[in-house]
A and B are shown apart, each in its own frame.
Chain A
Amino acid sequence: MMNNYLYDGTADGLLSAIAWILEEEPDPEKVTIRERMDTLFEEGFTIGTDATQAESLFFRLKQYAPDAAHTLYSFMLAEKEGMETSLLHYVSLAFKHGDKVKGYLTHPAVRDIVNVSKKAGRELHRMKGLLRFEKLQDGAYLAKMEPDFNIIHPLAYHFSCRLRAQHWFLYDVKRRTAARWNNGSLQFGTIEQFTTPALSEDEKKVQALWQAFFKTIAIPDRKNPRLQKSNMPMKYWKYLVEKQGE
């Protein structure tokens, strides 16, 4: 008989449920877990959410298998539903095999989790390059984006190490979340009503310079729009200064 467990649908809920199962179940690989839907005939035992448990699970994994914890972190950015059981099995295997688990690609759960986390990681890396800041009238900088995955936290962290002397905002247009860096401190929040602020006077001039550079740097004899699109998918063009009007 397989045991089925339910959790409340939050990230903390999922991680604390996994922590509980790893503690209580002799063979976690024979167990399933999914989100509780509150229908009448739902079968399974609901595990309560405990944020400290969730956090402690992550830190234990990070100590024991840093690579595997990183995969877990990237997986969570993807906000994927329906893969909870795979994640449970992955974490259980990670505590058994340590970082070597990422090589266990013949195991379906490992493969699923690693693949999703890679996709999220790839988008994060891409956005580190493709994000575009615009200078506002008050001297602050603003970058808007619509990423597939919920990457604003690690992305903001990246820029906090890079554009340290600057006052800037990141804004995830679809999720309505924002990050703000000012005077050495990083804050996150949600924005209900977004109005585009006025740009600084020289902003359009700098954008024109970048557009000109972008055009001239390509070798005319070697035009390759297919390669360009595969490296820089069109879904990201909306906020790219050099791709406006295309």
Chain B
Amino acid sequence: MDILAKLQILSGAARYDASCASSGSKREAPSCGTGNTSSSGICHSWADDGRCISLLKILLSNDCIYDCAYCVNRSTNPVERASFTAREVIDLTLDFYRRNYIEGLFLSSAVMRSPDHTMERMVRVAEALRTEEQFGGYIHMKIIPGCSSELVRKAGLYADRISVNIELPSQASLQRLAPQKHKHAILEPMALIGREIATSLVERKASRRAPRFAPAGQSTQMIIGASPENDFQILRLSQGLYKKMNLKRVYYSAYVPVTADNRLPVLAAPPLLREHRLYQADWLLRFYGFSAEEILSDDAPHLDESFDPKTAWALRHPEFFPVEINRADYVTLLRVPGIGVLSARRIVAARRFSLITAEGLKKIGVVIKRAKYFITCSGRSFEKPDQPPALIRQRLLLGESSDAAVSALPKQLVLPGLFA
């Protein structure tokens, strides 16, 4: 099989992996080699689905011995199989990098023969890129659950980011849909990586020469909508991963039906709106000081479809508002719907020079379309004060034309009784 055909098969099989981040690592180019990484991350193109392309995202092989129900590469699915040689991946990476098509390589793989066998071949690619080719660009490597901890450690030394996919949000779902994968085989390497990263940070404080371990951190991914967990369970899982395992990112991937299997739900379309709301809620966890328990509860375990999670929270907490723009601290400003990190920072910066008026708020670029129901400016409100939440709800919905694109996203359709 020629390299073009292989590339088509093995990049097509990798495309459902949501993570394309290339940020968070600063690596300088070896003087005789190729490539550095930029801490802010660079997009090199945008694919036809609008997603950023920054890495050559491919599988080393799609020839899998496992049989996960939701995956195109499952052993019982009759698709064409292909595997790259190490040399082929190295040449592709360098040829693309030298032409500035990419920031680096994102290497994952199906399980060939055994987890150790697969991981070993993946590590060999990264090792050759770093040591033989002096490649200084970005490398993200997936860890194959069940491989030896020695290989996990090696991967962390060559890669900028490593990740182990959680795949499904609970052990029960794993057992049902990915019977050859086990929770502990996923969580163990995650914990190991977390410890290695922490140790390396300490050692590098003592000596700049100490080796780096996955300087861009570890991330994971789970599939949304292939199993019955609710949003509250998912968010609590993510919260735990951020807090206990020190993960940099959790990626959510709306389940796209690729194979017919009676263990899987029948979807009219991938649950993109749900994925979108989960990402918004995830931001609230990471940057806005919210906890999963503030966003959802056992009584209301699903994210609102019509409102982003912050607006939904604000509507449930009228006692928190209005927030005074000229006095409220940064953390409080962040709780206002429509005021993001950038706007909150701008407000705090501009207050140093003078009181902010309603006019001034617009001038510094804060959009008040949504915020206006929740703020005052030097005591003056934009809207009639003390409107009941139900009314605000309605007005927000009517005025929410900019969110029309979001509401056009398909909702999930699960046939009742499927998970019974």
A residues at B contact (CB < 8 Å): 97, 100, 102-107, 111, 125, 128-135, 141, 143, 159, 161-166, 184, 206, 208-210, 212-219, 221-228, 231-232, 240-242
Contacts and interface: CB of A to CB of B under 8 A. Distances in A.
Contact of B352 (A103, A222, A226, A232): A103
Contact of A161 (B36, B96, B352): B36
B233 interface: no
Given A103-B350, A209-B92, A223 B363 contact: no
Given A100-B349, A135-B98, A216-B11, 15 more contacts: A104-B350, A105-B364, A106-B356, A107-B353, A129-B43, A133-B98, A166-B98, A206-B96, A209-B95, A210-B99, A210-B101, A212-B4, A212-B8, A217-B12, A231-B52
A165 B33 CA distance: 5
A231 B46 contact: yes
Interface string B1-31: 0011001100110111000000000001111
23 contacts: A100-B352, A103-B346, A104-B350, A104-B352, A105-B364, A106-B360, A106-B363, A131-B100, A133-B99, A163-B35, A165-B33, A165-B34, A184-B31, A209-B3, A209-B96, A213-B11, A217-B11, A217-B57, A221-B269, A222-B272, A224-B48, A226-B50, A227-B50
Contacts, number: 161
A162 B54 CA distance: 15
Contacts of B86: none
B349 A102 contact: yes
Contacts of A240: 45
B33 A214 contact: no
Interface residues of B, number: 59
A29 to B, nearest CB: 14
A135 B100 CA distance: 11
A222 B270 contact: yes
A206 B51 CA distance: 22
Contact of B353 (A104, A111, A231): A104
Interface string B373-385: 0000000000000
A125 B42 contact: yes
A141 B96 CA distance: 12
Contact of A223 (B49, B100, B346): B49
Contact of A106 (B35, B40, B353): B353
Contacts of A212: 4, 7-8, 11
Contacts of B269: 221
A217 B16 CA distance: 9
Given A104-B350, A129-B45, A209 B50 contact: no
A225 B50 CA distance: 7
Contact of A132 (B14, B43, B56, B99): B99
Nearest to B55: A217
Contact of B15 (A100, A208, A219): A219
A103 B330 CA distance: 14
B98 A222 contact: no
A164 B29 contact: yes
Contact of A162 (B29, B52, B92, B99): B29
Interface string B118-157: 0000000000000000100000000000000000000000
A219 to B, nearest CB: 5
Given A100-B349, A106-B364, A125-B42, A209 B48 contact: no
Q: Which 4 A-B pairs have the closest CB atoms?
A: A103-B349, A227-B50, A224-B50, A218-B47
Nearest to A240: B45
Which of A219, A224, A225, A231 has the most C-beta atoms of chain B within 10 angstroms of its own C-beta?
Answer: A219
B101 A241 contact: yes
B105 to A, nearest CB: 12
A106 B363 CA distance: 6
A109 to B, nearest CB: 12
A165 B44 CA distance: 21
Contacts of B353: 97, 103-104, 106-107
B330 to A, nearest CB: 13
Nearest to B31: A164
Contact of A129 (B42, B346, B350, B354): B42
Contacts of B29: 161-164
A132 B360 CA distance: 42
B56 A213 contact: yes
A164 B29 CA distance: 7
A232 B98 CA distance: 21
A147 to B, nearest CB: 15
B79 to A, nearest CB: 14
B7 to A, nearest CB: 6
B296 to A, nearest CB: 26
